[in-house]
Structures are given as structure tokens and as C-alpha cells.
């Protein structure tokens, strides 16, 4: 692992390590994959306004989310089925998160059970959920997570239907039986044509889910609720009005609606209406420590890392995941120092210049 110098290099290692069906499942986006590319490219159009002659001999990257301290504003996004990437699955990812002193959001579609992840190591964890047509299934999983010591529920709200992921359709991607749902619901689909994951989702996911269902979720859990998958000021306002405890600005890793905006380009409009009342996290396209800094400058409390975690896991297991997080932390630390920001609180909107600002300045 000595020769790996950045997070993107793990992607190539993962491609070599994984069967094509699984690599394509993790790597792919919806339809033309326009948003998939844009999620990454949009960060590259934001430039820095670094400040100099600031004492940066001690850099403190630490912060807290919902009152839980983390070593840096870099968390692990919920991604499905880690055992397709590595035999130890989510347990390896959880151990890496704990070692790096950060929060893992465990996927509803995890290949290890909630209880296995919880007992693998001592750490703060959140659970991402989907609401199934069979509400009792979702309710049971939420209650199990609460009992197992999970600290928050992250409700994904951008999947009334699954996006068209053409690689999965071509590969006839299988949907394995997930241990969390054994005795509750069959998740296994081995399709003759099309994507098994899509077939399972369309049979299981509740397309009638609406804002009033936040009340239902509140009624079954005492845990804080974050909503993941907002991209507009209108929905951010509705989320605040619904009394949620946090927002994740996300386009589902560009796997749902192609030509939805890159998340970093809409972060500010969400932050402006939220006005600091609840935390706003950003998901999508973060590949560098500089990206982490840009997201914080535009108002995010932290970022979530998705695909790079899976690539690290596929390439090198638990150590690969640790390495990915450590690389991002190291790059972020250097970015803070070179921008003149000794602490997270020192990172301000004045430290970056967006594409829109550049265009306006030319007019």
C-alpha cells in the first residue's frame, strides 16, 4: 500500500480485485452518468482564497455531529452490501471507522446484521433506512438498531423507485438474501433479465412515502432522524418544518435521477434556508481533502464518503478503509494549514470562490 498516493488509485485496485458485476454495481451511476461525473468535476471548479501568515503550527480537524465528537469532518456514507467487496463486509468497515474515530452510517442493505456490526467494535454508528411497503419490516429494523446502540436514523428519501443503472441491467445484477431480513422478507433475486436489485426495490420500497411519514418514523423511535437525499431549498425548508434533526444533501451518488445537480453546487442554497438550525452534511463526489474543505467553507458540518470506502475495502479490507480515511484526513489537514485555518471554526465562506462568483466578477 506504500505506493498508493491518493484515494482515486484505490479505484483501480478495486477494479482488479472485484468481479465485473460487483465493480460495476459500486461504480455505476444512472443512465448517461452525467451527474456521476459532475459530482466530482463540480468540486474542481471551486477555487481557494488562501490566507497567509496565520499560525498553523497546530491544526485541529476535530468536530462533532449531533454532539458526538469525531476526529475530522469525514464520515462513512451508507453503501450497500460490503460483503460483495470483501468477505468481512461491514464489520471490516466498522472497525476501520472506529480506529479512525469517525462515524459510520450503516446501510439498510448491509450484508452483516445490525447486531454483528454493533458487537464488532465500540463506536458511534448511525443506521440508514428505507421505508418498505411492509412498514413492520422497517419498524423492526429501526427498533433493533436502537437496541443495539445505534445513535441516529438516516432516512433516505430519494428512492420512490430505483434509478436506471444500465450496467446492472446489462450484468443482470443479483440481489442476495440479506441477513438483516431473514425471517422477515426475501431479498434474493437472480434475474433472467434486468437488474435484480431494481426488481427487489420495486417490489419492496414504498413509493407513497411523503413528508407526513416523518411523523410515523418519530412515533417508532426516540433516536434523532436525519433525511438524506435533498437537493433544493424548498425541500430543506420542509425538512426543518417537519422537525428533522439533520439533512444530508445527496443525489444518491448519482445513482437515481441523472441530470440532478452535483451536490456541492446546491449545498449553499440548502444551508441558507436551514440557517444553522440543524446540521447539514454533504454526500457525493468527495475524493480529496481539498473537497472536504470546500464543502465546509460552503456550510456543511461534515462530508460522507461512499465509493472510495468500498474501493479501499475491496482492495485491502479494513486496512484499505483506514488508509482511505487517513489519506483524506492528511490532505484536509494540509489544506487547512495552507489556507490559514488552524481549526474547523476558522474555515469560512471567504476561503473559497465558486464558479458563479468568478463569472459574476467578469461581467
Dump pLDDT digits (tens) for 95-135: 999 999 999 999 999 999 999 999 999 999 999 999 999 99
- Is residue 1 pLDDT above 60, yes or no? no
All 3 cell numbers of residue 299?
A: 456550510
Beta bridge partners of 247: 227, 280
On whether 161 is known to bind a ligand per the annotation, the reply is no
On whether 233 is known to bind a ligand per the annotation, the reply is no
Q: Cα(100)–Cα(89) distance, rounded to whole angstroms?
A: 17
Neighbours of 153 (CB within 10 A): 26
What's the pLDDT score for residue 357?
A: 86
Beta bridge partners of 153: 127, 225
Comparing C-alpha atoms, which of 226, 201, 209, 194 is closest to residue 81? 201
Q: Which residue has the cell 482564497?
A: 49
What's the pLDDT score for residue 2?
A: 62
Q: What is the mean pLDDT of residues 134-148?
A: 96
Q: Cα(171)–Cα(23) distance, rounded to whole angstroms?
A: 11
What's the pLDDT score for residue 211?
A: 97
On whether 147 is known to bind a ligand per the annotation, the reply is no
Mean pLDDT of the chain: 96
Active-site hit among 82, 86, 252, 351: 252
Comparing C-alpha atoms, which of 105, 87, 205 is closest to residue 145? 105
On whether 130 is known to bind a ligand per the annotation, the reply is yes
What's the pLDDT score for residue 360?
A: 85
What is the four-CA torsion angle of 180, 183, 184, 185, rounded to 10 degrees? Answer: 90
On whether 340 is known to bind a ligand per the annotation, the reply is no
Domains, in order of start, for the chain: 7-362 (3.20.20.70)
On whether 125 is known to bind a ligand per the annotation, the reply is no
On whether 287 is known to bind a ligand per the annotation, the reply is yes
Q: How sure is the predictor about 356, in pLDDT bands with cuts at 50, 70 and 90?
A: confident
Record the pTM.
0.96
**Is 252 a catalytic site residue?**
yes
Q: Cα(193)–Cα(195) distance, rounded to whole angstroms?
A: 7
What's the pLDDT score for residue 10?
A: 97
Q: What is the mean pLDDT of residues 257-270?
A: 98
On whether 194 is known to bind a ligand per the annotation, the reply is no
Q: How sure is the predictor about 361, in pLDDT bands with cuts at 50, 70 and 90?
A: confident
8 A C-beta contact, residue 113 and residue 140: no
On whether 243 is known to bind a ligand per the annotation, the reply is no
Amino acid at each position: 500500500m506504500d505506493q498508493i498516493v491518493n484515494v482515486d488509485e484505490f479505484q483501480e485496485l478495486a477494479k482488479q480485485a472485484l468481479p465485473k458485476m460487483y465493480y460495476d454495481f459500486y461504480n455505476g451511476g444512472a443512465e448517461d452518468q452525467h451527474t456521476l461525473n459532475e459530482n466530482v468535476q463540480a468540486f474542481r471548479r471551486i477555487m481557494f482564497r488562501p490566507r497567509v501568515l496565520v499560525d498553523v503550527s497546530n491544526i485541529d480537524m476535530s468536530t462533532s455531529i449531533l454532539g458526538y465528537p469525531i476526529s475530522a469532518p469525514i464520515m462513512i456514507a451508507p453503501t450497500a452490501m460490503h460483503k460483495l467487496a470483501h468477505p468481512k463486509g461491514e464489520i471490516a468497515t466498522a472497525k476501520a471507522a472506529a480506529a479512525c474515530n469517525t462515524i459510520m452510517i450503516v446501510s439498510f442493505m448491509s450484508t452483516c446484521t445490525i447486531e454483528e456490526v454493533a458487537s464488532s467494535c465500540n463506536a458511534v454508528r448511525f443506521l440508514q433506512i428505507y421505508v418498505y411497503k411492509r412498514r413492520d419490516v422497517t419498524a423492526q429494523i429501526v427498533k433493533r438498531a436502537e437496541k443495539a446502540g445505534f445513535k441516529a436514523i438516516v432516512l433516505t428519501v430519494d428512492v420512490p423507485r430505483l434509478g436506471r443503472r444500465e450496467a446492472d441491467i446489462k450484468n443482470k445484477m443479483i440481489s442476495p438474501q440479506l441477513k438483516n431480513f431473514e425471517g422477515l422478507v426475501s431479498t434474493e433475486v437472480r434475474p433472467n433479465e434486468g437488474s435484480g436489485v431494481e426488481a427487489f426495490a420495486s417490489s419492496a420500497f414504498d413509493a407513497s412515502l411523503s413528508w407526513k411519514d416523518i411523523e410515523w418514523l418519530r412515533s417508532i423511535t426516540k433516536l434523532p432522524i436525519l433525511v438524506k437525499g435533498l437537493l433544493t431549498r424548498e425541500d430543506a425548508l420542509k425538512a426543518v418544518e417537519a422537525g428533522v434533526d439533520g439533512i444530508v444533501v445527496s443525489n444518491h451518488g448519482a445513482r437515481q435521477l441523472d441530470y440532478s445537480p452535483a451536490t456541492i453546487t446546491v449545498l449553499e442554497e440548502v444551508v441558507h434556508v436551514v440557517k444553522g438550525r440543524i446540521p447539514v452534511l454533504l454526500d457525493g463526489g468527495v475524493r480529496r481533502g481539498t473537497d472536504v474543505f470546500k464543502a465546509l467553507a460552503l456550510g456543511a458540518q461534515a462530508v460522507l464518503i461512499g465509493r472510495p470506502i468500498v474501493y479501499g475495502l475491496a482492495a485491502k479490507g479494513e486496512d484499505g478503509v483506514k488508509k482511505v480515511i487517513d489519506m483524506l484526513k492528511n490532505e484536509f489537514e494540509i489544506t487547512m494549514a495552507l489556507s490559514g485555518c488552524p481549526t474547523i471554526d476558522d474555515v469560512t465562506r471567504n476561503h473559497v470562490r465558486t464558479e458563479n462568483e468568478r463569472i459574476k466578477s467578469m461581467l
